[in-house]
A = this chain, B = another copy of it.
Amino acid sequence: MAPTTPTVVVPIDLKKKPNEQKLTLHNRWHPEIPPVAEVKVGELFRVEMVDFTGGAIKDNDSAIDVKTSDLSTVHYLSGPIKVVDEQGIPAKPGDLLAVEICNLGPLPGDEWGYTATFDRENGGGFLTDHFPCATKAIWYFEGIYAYSPHIPGVRFPGLTHPGIIGTAPSMELLKIWNERESELEETGLQSLKLCEIQEGTPEWKKIAMEAARTIPGRENGGNCDIKNLSRGSKIYLPVFVDGANLSTGDMHFSQGDGEVTFCGAIEMSGFLDLKCKIIRGGMKEYLTPMGPTPLHVNPIFEIGPVEPRFSEWLVFEGISVDESGRQHYLDATVAYKRAVLNAIDYLSKFGYSKEQVYLLLSCCPCEGRISGIVDSPNAVATLAVPTAIFDQDIRPKTSKVPVGPRLVRKPDVLKCSYEGNLPTTENPGARI
């Protein structure tokens, strides 16, 4: 074995279910979840992972599995991994853990993924008011490229990344999370409901009762869904417990900024080749608390050098006025929603259903920007779509597009089966 062949510290057997894996997976954040592996700084190690649902979503043409998926058990994470220095001394609270993503990709033999929208009753998404039904698109990979039988005419290189990477919180930080999120009515069950993890021991029961869900990104990193955490990037994570206890999961072959459909990247199983460094005392040195305690910090990171290169972009703009015409004061979320809706409407003029475009914008390498955040009362957000991912020219043209009803690309490529309500020609998404 070459000195740089990564050691697999968390292996995954694709033929087994999440709770049958050799090393226990976990699906909540808690300081007392015991490490399943230990790595030294400088060591190249591989972490394998199941997709965020642990195999619940299948490679087929029905979205029934998305509609009925049990979101109380996600995300399945690999880890925690204890990190020690050359002398075997663990990372300590107050240190900064520098994690370099040397490589990553799908698990061999499992080169496919899916993008979906949850049903409004089961999590919904950014535009759930417009797209309330569960839909699903399957993506196949050809090396660096992904294509979908459900969204024909597009193909793009992946900017692959883990949706979730983070360190374990301390009890104090965990308490801050639980309190701050419990005070927010709007979040509903989703972010609060605790659930049992794999083991039925009293220790795990206690953990299950106290642990935080994995849905949001937080001070420890977590589900930040930053699409640029790809090959060659370096993440500086705060350390809250001895050993740092690094966990990761929710691999994405590709994602658009915002991951708008929520189940929204190209979700897949995969592997990460990582290398860690400990910056002793780095939290104090480099991070500044942004709240009442020294724990209110955020990770920082450096972007890697091999992101896909696009030169032409078509950009959609949104302002903080909602679809009813109502004004919102400098609200970037509303502005971004409108930018995405504008893009969906525009691109659906090129032979796609709106469901197809919604799924596409959630997973293709599009960039979401906060362009203006001070020009009262309108925030301006933009969504930039690389034109090269399409097999047709999608730019506005002076010469009229051919008269007649637009050709909707369909059955031959849209192999979805629709149980119950058949889609109309205008609406051929993989809908339940």
Q: Which residues of A approach B to under 8 Å, CB–CB? A: 1-5, 44, 59, 96, 98, 100-104, 108-112, 125-126, 140-145, 157, 176, 180-181, 183-184, 186-188, 190-191, 215-219, 223-228, 231-232, 236, 257-262, 264, 273, 275, 277-282, 285-288, 290-293, 296-319, 321-327, 329-333, 336, 338-339, 341-342, 345-346, 349, 367-382, 384, 388, 395-398, 400-401
Contact = CB atoms under 8 A, between A and B. Distances in A.
Contacts of A282: 396
Nearest to A101: B143
B292 A142 contact: no
A380 B220 CA distance: 13
A277 B312 CA distance: 19
Contact of A144 (B215, B278, B304, B316): B304
Contacts of A319: 216-219, 224, 298
Given A216-B376, A300-B314, A369-B370, A332 B342 contact: no
How many copies make up the complex? Answer: 4
Contacts of A286: 346, 349, 396
A140 B327 contact: no
A380 B227 CA distance: 11
Nearest to A217: B380
Contact of A300 (B231, B302, B346): B346
Contacts of A315: 226, 228, 300-303
A368 B257 CA distance: 11
B345 A292 contact: no
Contacts of A104: 143
B367 A369 contact: yes
Contact of A291 (B186, B261, B325): B325
Contact of A143 (B273, B325, B396): B273
B226 A373 contact: no
Nearest to A4: B140
A22 B265 CA distance: 40
What are the 8 A-B residue pairs with the smallest beta carbon separation, nearest first?
A102-B143, A103-B143, A288-B345, A216-B378, A225-B372, A311-B311, A332-B332, A368-B370
Contact of A257 (B223, B299, B369): B369
Contacts of A184: 327, 329, 377
A316 B112 CA distance: 31
B369 A325 contact: no
